[in-house]
Amino acid sequence: MLILSRQVDESIMIGEDVEVVVLGIQRGQVRLGIRAPGDTPVHRREIYDAIEAENRLAARSPTVDGTSLARALQSLGNNRKSSPKS
């Protein structure tokens, strides 16, 4: 881990495109500003961790191929046609 000291209005560069600026320090909190290209995701760590957990869960979920989905939808449509109306 790289450890840097910065004061208010000082910044660090990450690569060529990302700049992190110290905006303020109050009551033990540091306010940071981040300049990054629009296609660069920037998240607080707890949000990033939640996204990663959702992605892992989605990757474990069974997938449905198009043919199976079409059959299921067709079956649903056929059941509606054959059921008596109230």
* pTM, entire model: 0.62
Q: What is the pLDDT along the chain (86 residues), one digit of tens a residue?
A: 999 999 999 999 999 999 999 999 999 999 999 999 999 999 999 999 999 999 998 888 777 777 877 888 888 877 666 555 55
Residue type, 3: I
Among 54, 19, 26, smallest CA distance to 8 is for 26
- Our separate counts of H helices and E strands in the chain read 2, 3
